[in-house]
Amino acid sequence: MSGKILVVEDDAAVRELLLSTLGREGVVTTVACDAMQAAELLKREHPDLILLDWMLPRVSGVEWARQLKESEQTRAIPIILLTARSEEEDKVQGLESGADDYVTKPFSPRELKARIKAVLRRTAPEISDEPVEVDGLVLDPVSHRVSVEGQTLAIGPTEFRLLRFFMTHRDRVFTRTQLLDHVWGANVYVEERTVDVHIRRLRKILAETGHDRLVQTVRGAGYRFSERA
């Protein structure tokens, strides 16, 4: 498991359990004790998932989850609610607030990891550890290899990230700005033409096996990765 997770939990003992569990998985973790502190962190960082305690001081986790899903900037971030409430009505309320899953305390680290992986597979496939295959082109995020019929392609780290994003978001058009945000990061300041440079490099790499046709220019819009012309 990889990626960045924001933990919003006011109980110190639970925070330590979460940090220990996620740390062993190699996850980069940021911690906040309440919704207001977490909101400040979101101005600077964009986590892949939020672990959110229901019973927070001042603003409850359920209310803050609802606010996140109403905002264009944060609605795509998956949320897992952590709570001692176990009644069906409570679960329904939590899910209706916009949460993607619901974990009842006390929980086992094994269950929590399984639920995180399941949510990320559904909502953020680009950070899953599972290999991705498109038209015989295989990308393995664990070994950091791209191959076709056993032939490994030489690929740089930026082209690898770009290809991984494309392969997990097929048939969608992305502007240069969107690609910069998703592949380079929202806090990295580079020019839009940087995208064009790396697109050319990626096409050159994929041309060895004829897969450069998958990276398509959409005139006036941006780029698309698709098996269809």
pLDDT of residue 172: 87
pLDDT tens digits, one per residue of 206-215:
999 999 999 9
Are the C-beta atoms of residues 153 and 176 closer than 8 Å to each other? no
Query: What's residue 1's pLDDT?
Result: 61
More confident of the two residues 187 and 33: 33
SS3 state at 13: helix
Please indicate, yes or no, whether residues 10 and 122 belong to a single structural domain of this protein.
yes
pLDDT value of position 40? 92
Q: Which of 45, 115, 112 is nearest to 74 (CA)?
A: 45
User: pTM value?
Assistant: 0.59
CATH of the domain at 187: 1.10.10.10
Domain count, the chain: 2
Average pLDDT, the chain: 87
Domain ranges, residue 152: 132-225
| 153 and 118 assigned to the same domain | no
Residue 95 predicted with pLDDT over 90:
no
What whole-number distance in Å separates Cα of residue 173 and Cα of residue 182?
Answer: 13
Same domain, yes or no, for 24 and 102? yes
C-alpha to C-alpha distance for 68 and 62, rounded to whole angstroms: 10
Question: Is residue 152's pLDDT more than 90?
Answer: yes
SS3 31: strand
- Tens-place pLDDT, residues 178-196: 888 778 875 556 778 889 9
Q: Which residue has the higher pLDDT, 100 or 95?
A: 100
Q: What six digits make up the tokens of 114?
A: 């399984």
From 70, 103, 127, give the residue that closes a domain.
127
The pLDDT of residue 67: 92
Distances (CA, A) of 6 to 48, 50, 94, 101, 222: 8, 5, 18, 15, 31
- Nearest CA-CA partner of 217 in 208, 126, 203: 203
158 and 90 assigned to the same domain:
no
Shared domain check, 188 and 113: no
